Chain A
Amino acid sequence: MTALHSALLAALLLGIVSGLLGSFVVVRRMALTGDMLSHAVLPGVVAGLAWNTTRNPLLVLICAVLAGVVGSVTMNGLLRHTRLKPDAVLALVLSVFFALGIAMISRVQPAGVQAFLYGQVAAIDQRDLLLLLAVTAITVTVVPLAFRSLSLVSFDASFARLLGFPVRFFDIAFFLLLTVVIVIAMQAVGVVLVTAMLVTPAAAARFCTHSLAKTTAISCAIGAVGGIAGVWISASRDSLPTGPLMALSTTLLFAAAALLGPRRGWLPTLLRRRSESHRIAGEDILKTLWLREEAPGLIQPLIFKEGLLKKLAAAGLVHRTATTVDLTPTGRDRAAMLVRSHRLWERYLTEYAAYKTDHVHDDAERAEHWIDEARMALLATKLGNPALDPHGRSIPSIDKEVNT
C-alpha cells in the first residue's frame, strides 16, 4: 500500500466514524464537550509517547483516554460543586489541560507529537490504520444495532431510565468511544480541527432531513467524502496541509447542504416561499375577478402580472382573449371559496375575537389563503352558517362544491 493509499483509507474510515458519532454529538448538544476532550487528552498523548519509545498506538491511546477521563471527571466535579456555568467550566478545563500538555512537550519533547498537534495523515502508519479499522468496525456494528436505544437515551434520558435502560452505562460507553475517535482523528487533522470533523458533517446533515437515522447516514457520507477530498487535494498540490484541507472540504459540503438541503436549506426554503407567494398572488387575481362580477364597475382597471395570468389560464381557472380576462366555471368556484373563507373569517374575528368591523379586513386578506376545507367547515358550523359578513355582504355558499 502506498502512502497515498493508506492516507485515503484513513480519511475514509475517519470520515465515517466521526460522521457517525458526530451526529449523536450534535443532537446531544455535546459539541463543546468534544472540543474540551480533544484538548484534555493532550497530556495523556505526550505521556504515552514519552513512555514507550516504539510509539505503540494502543498504549498512546490508553494514556490519552485516561487523560480524557480525568478531564471529564474534573469538568463534572466543577459543574456539581461550583456555580460556574457549563461554558466557563469547559473553557477552564480545556485550557488548563492543553497548557499542561504543551508544558510537557517542551520538557520531554517526545517524537511524533507534532502529528497530534497539527495533524499529519502521512504519519498514520500500518499500526494506526489497524487500530482505526478496528474502532470503525466496532462503531459501525454497535451503533446501528443499538440505534434505537441510543436515540432514546439521547432524546429523553429520564424516560429511558424509567424504562430500565442503563443510561449511565450508555453515557460512559459513548464518552469512551468518542474519546477514542477523537484521539485517532487528532493524528489526521490536529487538535484544533477534530471538532470540525465531528461536528461539521452532522450539522450539514441536519439541513437535509428530520430523521435521526438519515441524519447519521448523511453525516457519515459527508465525513467520508470530505475526508477523501481533503487528502486527494493535498496530495495533488505541493505544500498543502492535509488536516486543514479535510476540514475545509467538509465545510464546503456543509455550505452546499446549508444552501441546498431539502429540510432547511436556503434554496428549497426560498423556492417554497416563492411558490406560496405565487399561489397567493394567483388566488388574489381569482378573487378580484369574482368581486368584479359581484359588483361590476366597482373594481377597475385591472392590471395583472402576465406570468401569473398564463399559469391561471393553463390551469383552466381563467379564460383569456386579447383584451379580456374572465373566470371559467372552475375558477369561479375556487374564487367563491376564497371569498367565503375571507368573509367567514371576518365574522369569526368580530364574534369570537372581539375585533371591530373596520379592523378585520386586513387580517382576513392573509387568513383566506390558509383556511382549508376542513377549517372552513368548522368555521361555518361554529358561526351557525351565517349568510352575511360583518359588512353586510353575502357569504358565498358551498352547495356547488359538494360533489367536486
Chain B
Amino acid sequence: MSTPALETHDLSVSYRGKPVLHGVDIEIPYGSLTGIMGPNGAGKSTLLKAIMGVVEPDNGWVKLLDKPLKQVLGRIGYVPQRESVDWDFPVTVFDVALMGTYAGLGWFGRPGKRHRARAMEALEQTGMADLAKRQIGELSGGQQQRTFLARALAQDAEIYLMDEPFAGVDAATERTIVHLLGRMRDTGKTVIVVHHDLQTAQRYFDRLLLLNMRVVAHGPTEEVFRPDVLETTYGGKLTLLSDIAARSARGEGGRKQ
C-alpha cells in the first residue's frame, strides 16, 4: 500500500488543560476529499490545529506527505475558520490572495509579476477579481470565504486543511466552493475539510472522518455514512471518557487511600 498523504498515530491532544482528543489514528490517501464531522466539542478544530502544529499533542505523532510537518512547510495550505480572522485588519482581497504566493520568498523577497498574476488568477477562479481592491471587512460572508479560498489556490499546496469553509456562506458560494474542492481533488490535491452539515456531507465528500473525542469511524463515505455510525458519533459525548480524563488532568478527586 502506498503511503498516505496524512497520517496520525495515537494522537492525543489537550486544549487548555482539558483532554479533547484520544488516540486518534488516521490515514488519508492522496487525492481525496475528506470531511471531518462530529458534534460541537468533538475536537474537529483541535485535530486540525494539532496537524498544523499550532497545539502540541500530549502523545502520538503526525506525518504529512510522509514527513514531519517541519520538513514540508510551504506545501500545506490552510483556510482558517471565519471567526478567527481579524476582518478589520488593513489588507485588501488582493493582498490576502497574494499571501498564498509567499512560500519560498523568504524574509525580504518581494512578490513579482508572476506572483501577482498567480494571485489574480486565483481570484478569478473564485469570482473575486472584481473586488480585489476591497478591504476584507467590507465583504459578505461568502466573499470572505472565497478570498481565503483564492489564497489557498494561489499557494498551490499539496495538502489543504480547511476549517468550516461552508459556515455562513450563501448558496452560490457554497456551490463555487464545492466545485473548486472537487477540482482540487481531481488535480491530485488532498483536501481535508471540517464540516458541520450532515445534510450535505454525503454529497460533498469522498471520505468521512467521524469524530467525537476519538475516531468513531473513518473511511469512504458510502461505508461510513450509516445511521448506526452517525448515532454513535452524535449520540452525546462519552461522558465517562471525558470525565475521567478531566479528573486525571486536574489531578484531583482521586480514590482515597
Residues of A that sit less than 8 Å from B by CB? 27, 29, 83, 145-146, 148-149, 151-152, 154-156, 158-159, 161-165, 206, 209-212, 215
Contact = CB atoms under 8 A, between A and B. Distances in A.
A159 B78 contact: yes
Given A156-B85, A164-B74, A206-B90, A146 B99 contact: no
Nearest to B54: A158
A164 B103 contact: yes
B102 A155 contact: no
A131 B128 CA distance: 48
Interface of B: 16, 52-54, 73-74, 76-78, 80, 85-86, 89-92, 95, 99, 102-103, 105, 107-111, 135, 151, 155
30 contacts: A27-B89, A29-B86, A83-B16, A145-B107, A145-B108, A146-B108, A148-B111, A149-B102, A149-B107, A149-B108, A151-B95, A152-B99, A155-B89, A156-B85, A158-B52, A158-B78, A158-B80, A159-B78, A159-B80, A161-B53, A161-B73, A162-B52, A162-B74, A162-B77, A163-B73, A163-B74, A164-B103, A210-B92, A211-B90, A215-B90
Contacts of B109: 148
A156 B90 contact: no
B103 A163 contact: yes
A156 B99 contact: yes
Contacts of B151: 159
Nearest to B152: A159
A212 B110 contact: no
Nearest to A23: B90
B4 to A, nearest CB: 19
Contacts of B54: 158, 161
Q: What is the interface of chain A mostly: helix, strand, loop, or mixed? A: helix
Contacts of B52: 158, 161-162
Nearest to B157: A162
B243 to A, nearest CB: 19
B18 to A, nearest CB: 11
Contacts of A156: 80, 85, 99
Contacts of B110: 148
A162 B90 contact: no
Given A148-B102, A165-B102, 5 more contacts: A27-B89, A148-B109, A155-B89, A164-B74, A212-B89
